[in-house]
Amino acid sequence: MAVPLFTLARQNQPLREELLQTFEKVLDSGMYILGEEVTQFEAELAQANGLSPEQVIGVSSGTDALLLALMTMDLGPGDEVICPSFSFFATAGGIARVGAKPVFADVCPVCFNLDPDSFAAAITPRTKAVIPVHLFGQCAEMDRINEIARDHGIMVLEDAAQALSARYREKPAGTMGDFGAFSFFPTKNLGGFGDGGALFVRDPDLARKARLLRVHGGYPKYYHSLVGGNFRLDALQAALLRVKLPHLAGFSAARAAHAEAYHEALLAEDRVFVPGEGQCHCLNDFSDSRQEPSQRKLWLPLAYQHNDCIWNQFTILVDGPGAATGEARDNLLAYLRENNIGAEIYYPVPLHQQECFASSEKPELPIADSLAARCLSLPIFPEMTAQERNEVIQTLLSWLHQN
Ligand SMILES: *Cc1c(COP(=O)(O)O)cnc(C)c1O
């Protein structure tokens, strides 16, 4: 049985009638840019995250949400922004696009998110902001990150593109820093019908400024005190996302059930582990036992008890001989694909190793390098059936028994 990494058709099929009616409504309205649908969508997102509607700004993509936040902070040449090296490219791309310098920090070997100690060590007098990423649906260690940022007068922009509705100690992702950036790219937990995003802004004055920059900084129209861009969300996109938003909690619950089932089936095997609960590198002085040679073959991802993880990805690490070079992981990836199981590497090259950042001095970030060589993401889309999930598990087990 072939199992895709994800499929959107199954998610959207049951909503087909409602989506088509919504499309017709927007078609007939003749209003295609911003407008009432976007305003309503912003209000609903705000409500779901305990914010006021003014603090939520619908934008054209997650990438543009990040860029808009950095422009709102007036960052540019001479400024430094710290971000984790193990993330999607857009986290660092926005920093470079405003002319500031991305400074890469290492990540936690357990939760894969920004290591607060590495962040603190990367701070210089030029550091203006930090971008913690809530990777794969689990929040970074925000209490410590916020504390370090506050002590140094640094702004915090949460890259919550993969974490809409995830929580850290009861607090929603994207509401703990000065800014929170979200994406509705079709494969995110709230997946749209093309590109879309949102920016949460804590300070009302900065929120007003970001809203202006979304439309070229013009207010009143054609009078520009600021240089912004076109970062607008389409009315159609907002209207269709409003159909899906009430289902987000259900999607995330289905993903969590898959994660639990993976844990239950796979942890029964020798050589399959999760890092011990409470052993967070972010909070404790935790030496990464995964760096030691061992009989361990697969590490499953851990969601901390203090986090509500939304499992945008279920990312395992492949260990054992050949792990450091990526050979072991590539071997499992090839095996899964031969057996028609969808799997993908998020992300194969850490940001500090990307060619476009080669001119900056290259920091030593051993955990980011190690994760990039070992990581492999498995199917965890909400609509996956129990039979499909079992097929993934059986295929993993047969690989384990041969290796
Ligand atoms: C998807 C993603 C983005 C960019 O979002 P787009 O909507 O695709 O522009 C940024 N950061 C992270 C961590 C992402 O996963």
Q: What is the tens place of the pLDDT at every residue in 166-176? A: 999 999 999 99
Which residues are CB-neighbours of 330 under 8 A, at least 6 positions away?
A: none
Asked if residue 19 has pLDDT above 90, the reply is yes
Is a pLDDT exceeding 60 seen at residue 178? Answer: yes
* Whole-number Å distance between alpha carbons of 225 and 373: 47
Say whether pLDDT at 359 is over 90: no
Upstream peptide bond of 4 is cis (omega within 30 degrees of 0): no
The pLDDT of residue 333 is 98
Ligand 1 centre from 216 Cα, in Å? 22
DSSP character for 112?
Answer: -
Q: What is the mean pLDDT of residues 348-362?
A: 90
Q: How far, in Å, from the CA of 237 to the mean position of ligand 1?
A: 17
| Helices 235-244/36-48 angle, 10° precision | 40
pTM across the whole model: 0.96
- Residue 344 in 3-state DSSP? strand
Q: CB of 347 within 8 A of CB of 87? A: yes
51: which residues sit within 8 A by CB, 6+ positions away?
A: 45, 175, 200
**pLDDT value at residue 286:** 52
Q: Helices (DSSP H) in 153-226: which residue ranges? A: 204-214
State mean pLDDT over 99-119. 96
Please report, as a single letter, which amino acid is at residue 214: R
The mean-pLDDT minimum among 68-82, 105-119, 263-277 falls in: 263-277
User: Is the C-beta atom of 195 inside 6 A of ligand 1?
Assistant: yes
Band of pLDDT at residue 282, cut at 50, 70 and 90: confident
Question: Among all chains, which residue has been given the structure tokens 């499929």?
Answer: 7
Measured between alpha carbons, how far is 160 from 312 in angstroms, rounded to an integer?
Answer: 11
Residue 261: C-alpha distances to residues 129, 159, 355 (Å): 39, 28, 39
Q: Which residue has the tokens 């894969």?
A: 112
Q: Is the pLDDT of residue 287 over 60?
A: no
pLDDT score, position 277: 56
- Return the pLDDT at 305: 87
| pLDDT reported for residue 308 | 96
- At residue 373, what are phi and psi to the nearest 5 degrees? -85, -20
pLDDT 10s digits, 317-332: 999 889 999 999 999 9
Q: What angle do CA 392, 261, 110 make, to 5 degrees?
A: 90
Query: For residue 296, what pLDDT is reported?
Result: 79
Q: With a 6 A CB cut-off, is 42 part of the ligand 1 pocket?
A: no
Q: Is 137 in the pocket of ligand 1 (CB under 6 A)?
A: no
Q: Are 377 and 344 in contact (CB under 8 A)?
A: yes
Q: Which of 138, 162, 311 to mutate to test the pocket of ligand 1 (most atoms within 8 A of CB)?
A: 162
Determine the pLDDT at residue 107: 96
Report which of 371, 191, 222, 152 is spatially closest to residue 144, judged by C-alpha positions.
Answer: 152
User: Does the structure show a pLDDT above 90 at 29?
Assistant: yes
Whether the predicted pLDDT of 361 surpasses 80: no
- Residue whose entry in the numeric block shows the structure tokens 């097929």: 391
Confidence of residue 218 (pLDDT cuts 50, 70, 90): confident
Tokens 């089936």: give the residue. 265
Residue 284 has pLDDT above 70, yes or no: no
Report the alpha-carbon distance of residue 161 to residue 64 in Å, rounded: 11
pLDDT tens, 380-401? 999 999 999 999 999 999 999 9
Alpha-carbon radius of gyration of the chain: 21
Verify whether ligand 1 is closer than 6 Å to residue 90 (CB atom).
yes
Instruction: With a cut of 70, say whether residue 285 has pLDDT above it.
Output: no
CA of 246 to the centre of ligand 1 (A): 22
Q: What is the mean pLDDT of the chain?
A: 94
pLDDT at 378 over 90: yes
Q: Which 3 state secondary structure label does DSSP give 302?
A: coil
Q: Of all atoms in ligand 1, which is nearest to the CA of residue 312?
A: 15
Tell me which long-range contacts 146-149 makes (C-beta under 8 A, separation of at least 24): 146/176, 146/177, 148/116, 148/119, 148/120, 148/123, 149/177
Place of tokens 């079992």: 390
For residue 265, list its beta bridge partners.
none
Residue 289 has pLDDT above 60, yes or no: no
Closest listed residue to residue 156, CA positions, set 137, 126, 181, 135: 181
Six token digits for residue 346: 């998020």
pLDDT bucket at 204, cuts 50 / 70 / 90: very high
Nearest atom in ligand 1 to 61's CA: 7
58 strand-pairing partners:
198
- Tell me: cis bond preceding 347? Omega within 30 of 0 counts: yes
Share of the chain above pLDDT 90, in %: 87
Report CA torsion sign: 211, 224, 215, 84: negative
CA 368 to ligand 1 centroid distance, Å:
18
Q: Where are the alpha helices (DSSP H) in 30-154?
A: 36-48, 62-72, 90-97, 116-121, 142-152
User: Is the Cβ–Cβ distance between 91 and 84 less than 8 Å?
Assistant: yes
> Residue 212: what are its φ and ψ, rounded to 5°?
-70, -45
